[in-house]
């Protein structure tokens, strides 16, 4: 796993090269909304990109993690199916439904059924390298999704430049990322991890939870400011040292939300001795997100190492798939 995580910057570079060569045809009609379908390590890419682009893209973007699509999907909807293996059950169901509804479809995968379906029905499909755990291939879905939005003129090509700057940032900050990741792992050891950030980074906090789930074999949760101030903060009245809190200080919150962030840190410190704030580096939400993704990945691996765990093992998911395969 350490080699797969270390490959994140080079994966970004390779993904940018793939995106540059990819052909995405202009659609035949107006696109009024966009739905990105994907699960797990593929699905989180859709969530992250939707947040990155929500203040620039003039049509709504929805990230969908289920077998079915929203009722509004029709001929004016672009449905992007992102499945690293090309075999994700829920995504294939959703893409077939999109096809039946006459939606415009683009696929992102390493092969499999999704690739075959797209080619058979003359839909564009971007092929990425396969063979690794989907959660380690996030760079490929992030870059291809942003590339699709730029090629269809929904957002500026500058977003791909920001991704490249994020990759360069990782090279510059790598030593600090490792140092900080080890600190985070030490704080979270033998605790229930809780991750907080500003609302624009909600998808990144979800990524953190997922990585602690899969790599570290830990349950935990995440939330964002200001929403957590209206509900979850009250729950800290019952908090104690079972919980370790990781705050992601991105430096780009509004004045009021920054104050909420600082007060929330002070409140949680009253109930837990394990509260850590990480200062995030970067000049844009994309650069900061890329920095955080790499930091999160290393922190989840170092936490696994502290437990002498196996970050690759996914026996419970394999069992679930085996049981589902019995259903005709």
pLDDT digits (tens, 9 = 90+) for 86-104: 999 999 999 999 999 999 9
Q: Give the three-class secondary structure for 285.
A: helix
Identified catalytic residue from 176, 259, 270, 321? 321
Catalytic-role residue among 180, 202, 214, 218:
214
Range of weakest confidence among 196-205, 237-246, 283-292, 313-322 = 313-322
pLDDT surpasses 80 at 28? no
**What pLDDT score was predicted for residue 325?**
84
Average pLDDT over residues 278-301: 97
Domains defined for the chain, CATH in brackets: 2-156 (3.40.50.10490), 170-306 (3.40.50.10490)
Which of these, 144, 201, 129, lies nearest to 23 by C-alpha position?
A: 144
Task: Determine whether 214 is an active site residue.
Answer: yes
Average pLDDT over residues 131-139: 91
Range with the poorest average pLDDT among 34-43, 168-177, 192-201, 309-318: 309-318
Give phi and psi for 233, each to the nearest 5: -60, -35
**pLDDT over 70 at 84, yes or no:** yes
Lowest-pLDDT range, 30-39, 262-271, 310-319?
310-319
Look up 321 and say whether it is catalytic: yes
**Strands across the sheet containing 124-127:** 61-64, 33-37, 77-83, 104-109, 124-127
User: Distance from first CA to last CA of the chain, Å, rounded?
Assistant: 35
What pLDDT, on the 0 to 100 scale, is given for residue 321? 86
- Tokens matching residue 104: 């415009």
Q: pLDDT tens-digit profile of 175-192?
A: 999 999 999 999 999 999
pLDDT > 70 in the chain, percent = 99
In this predicted structure, the answer to whether residue 169 has a pLDDT above a threshold of 90 is yes
pLDDT at 67 over 80: yes
**What is the model's pLDDT at position 57?**
96
**The pLDDT of residue 328 is above 90:** no
The C-alpha angle with vertex 200 and arms to 262 and 236, in degrees rounded to 5, equals 40
Report yes or no: 173 and 291 within 8 Å, Cβ to Cβ. Answer: yes
Percent of the chain past pLDDT 90, that is, above it, reads 90
Give residues with Cβ within 8 angstroms of 276, minimum separation 6. 183, 184, 187, 244, 245, 246, 247
Q: Are 99 and 77 in contact, with CB atoms under 8 Å apart? A: no
Question: Which whole number is the average pLDDT over 297-316?
Answer: 93
Whole-number Å distance between alpha carbons of 114 and 91: 9
Instruction: Catalytic residue, from 230, 315, 326, 328: name it.
Output: 230
**∠152-155-161 over CA atoms, to 5°?**
110
Identify the residue whose tokens are 């059950």.
89
Lowest mean pLDDT among 24-28, 111-115, 251-255: 24-28
State the average pLDDT over residues 6-17.
96
């Amino acid at each position: 796993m350490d080699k797969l995580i270390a490959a994140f910057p080079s994966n970004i570079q390779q993904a940018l090269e793939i995106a540059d060569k990819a052909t995405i045809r202009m659609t035949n009609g107006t696109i009024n909304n966009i739905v990105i379908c994907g699960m797990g390590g593929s699905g989180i890419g859709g969530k992250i990109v939707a947040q990155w682009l929500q203040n620039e893209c003039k049509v709504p973007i929805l990230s969908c993690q289920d077998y079915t699509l929203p009722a509004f999907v029709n001929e004016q909807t672009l449905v992007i199916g992102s499945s690293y293996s090309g075999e994700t059950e829920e995504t294939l169901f959703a893409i077939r439904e999109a096809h039946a509804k006459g939606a415009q479809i683009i696929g992102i995968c390493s092969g499999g059924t999704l690739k075959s379906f797209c080619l058979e029905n003359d839909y564009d499909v971007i092929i990425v390298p396969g063979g690794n755990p989907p959660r380690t291939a996030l760079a490929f879905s992030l870059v291809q999704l942003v590339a699709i939005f730029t090629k269809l003129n929904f957002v500026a090509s500058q977003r791909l430049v920001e991704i490249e700057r994020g990759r360069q940032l990782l090279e510059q900050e790598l030593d600090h990322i490792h140092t900080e990741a080890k600190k985070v792992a030490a704080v979270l050891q033998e605790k229930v991890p809780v991750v907080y950030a500003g609302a624009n980074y909600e998808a990144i906090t979800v990524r953190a939870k997922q990585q602690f789930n899969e790599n570290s074999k830990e349950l935990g949760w995440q939330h964002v400011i200001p929403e957590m101030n209206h509900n979850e903060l009250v729950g800290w009245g019952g908090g104690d040292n079972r919980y370790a809190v990781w705050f992601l200080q991105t430096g780009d919150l509004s004045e009021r939300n920054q104050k909420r962030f600082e007060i929330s840190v002070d409140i949680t410190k009253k109930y837990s001795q394990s509260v850590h704030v990480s200062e995030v580096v970067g000049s844009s939400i994309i650069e900061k997100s890329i920095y955080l993704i790499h930091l999160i990945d290393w922190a989840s691996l170092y936490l696994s190492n502290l437990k002498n765990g196996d970050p690759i093992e996914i026996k419970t998911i394999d069992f679930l798939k085996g049981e589902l395969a019995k259903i005709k």
